[in-house]
Structure 1
């Protein structure tokens, strides 16, 4: 009988300890950082103000370095039919009906000219969008991924980035969830299997090292 190893980290050693290399052409991808997660009156409020501050710093660093920046948001038609079963599974997604103020980006994370906004209806920023084609066209090989929520759209986006050939680097402090348990569990699993999870400090150093001359 195989002995169970109760130490989580030790249990994964030798099976899930590979590393991805940071590429030559990175971009910052800010996933769904919108008012629905910041307004206490919203059913999706997640208390992610610290993650917002981290995103503000990363966005400033990326702009200063000339690193491409992409934003995603979620937008549904009036009846939510374009959200399919995802919309039915999570009724609170109604806050993203077209025109809702809860779907807006916060004042401190507003896209500027030249920064693309990818509107989506499902968890992954890649599913049903032109993101992969756009990244390939621009020669991007690596994504610094931030946003909300860690266990939902960030995880789905990181997984699809990997499967689409873009190295995903998830920035720990710049992601958030409505409870620390799924946040930490998903960061652990992403690091083990699908991405590199890096600190904000590490992400800023990678941005600086890849600044466009």
Structure 2
């Protein structure tokens, strides 16, 4: 639906740092002059805002600068497993082209000798962090390491990965093996793919930036449980922590 690619009033207000009531108050004749935003109404009368316009507003206010590619990238794929891609799973994202986009990234990485890490969220009842996260997010209990839910998506299982990282942590940077590997390879740029955009992808992007990595997110290769959440998270990630770019642009950078 056409309204899936727009932000609702709560999402737009949160990104702009104001209240929804403020946006309503400032609106005149379907336009918010102070922010340069057009207001779109759904057939049910709900307000929607264009992601591109808020992105431009961020740029004008000094957000959304480009980090740019470094010299030694690595590809980090998170949770493109059965649990996050099977529509019958309670953890499933809105699957569109993420698998195909990730396959292109993997093949390009292999061609250009770029390291690849595949991380799988697992649940371990004897691990304090895993139990704590599961208290907040009970659906994670299905991610038993021995279950088929944690298996790689069939279209990604035939590739060779430098590291397959079963992890109880939200962020991939919180792993000694991964960190040691990245340092040994002198990696300065992390390309993130997988799920969920508002969860582990976002957390890893923030941690990676704080650890000194340039973070690149090809928007076609990440996913979340609904398009509205996906749009608002990508907008915020691009404004603060990463370069959110097209798959085509990312693939071109991998070749240079």
User: Does structure 1 residue 203 correspond to structure 2 residue 234?
Assistant: no
Whether the 8 Å CA contact 2:194–2:201 is kept in 1: the answer is yes
User: Does structure 1 residue 9 correspond to structure 2 residue 39?
Assistant: no
Q: Deviations over 1:153-196 (max 9, x none)?
A: 11111111101111000110000111001101111111111000
CA RMSD of aligned residues (A): 1.9
Cα distance change of structure 1 residues 128 and 139 upon mapping to structure 2, 3 Å threshold: closer
User: Does structure 1 residue 100 correspond to structure 2 residue 147?
Assistant: yes
Segments of 4+ moved more than 4 angstroms: 78-82, 111-114
TM-score, length basis structure 1: 0.89
Q: How much has 1:73 moved relative to structure 2?
A: 0.7
Unaligned regions of 5+ residues in structure 2, if any?
A: 1-32, 38-53
Residue in 1 aligned with 2:115? 68
Q: How much has 1:40 moved relative to structure 2?
A: 2.2
User: Does structure 1 residue 31 correspond to structure 2 residue 61?
Assistant: no
Aligned-partner SS, 2:219: strand
Whether the 8 Å CA contact 2:124–2:131 is kept in 1: the answer is no
User: Does structure 1 residue 138 correspond to structure 2 residue 185?
Assistant: yes
Radius of gyration: which is bigger? 2
- What is the aligned residue count? 207
User: Does structure 1 residue 87 correspond to structure 2 residue 134?
Assistant: yes
Measure, in 2, the Cα distance between the counterparts of 1:33 and 1:65: 22
Q: Choose between structure 1 and 2 for higher RCO, CA contacts under 8 A separated by at least 6 residues.
A: 1
Which moved further from structure 2: 47-56 or 121-130?
A: 121-130
Whether the 8 Å CA contact 1:145–1:171 is kept in 2: the answer is yes
Measure, in 2, the Cα distance between the counterparts of 1:79 and 1:61: 39
Residue in 1 aligned with 2:4? none
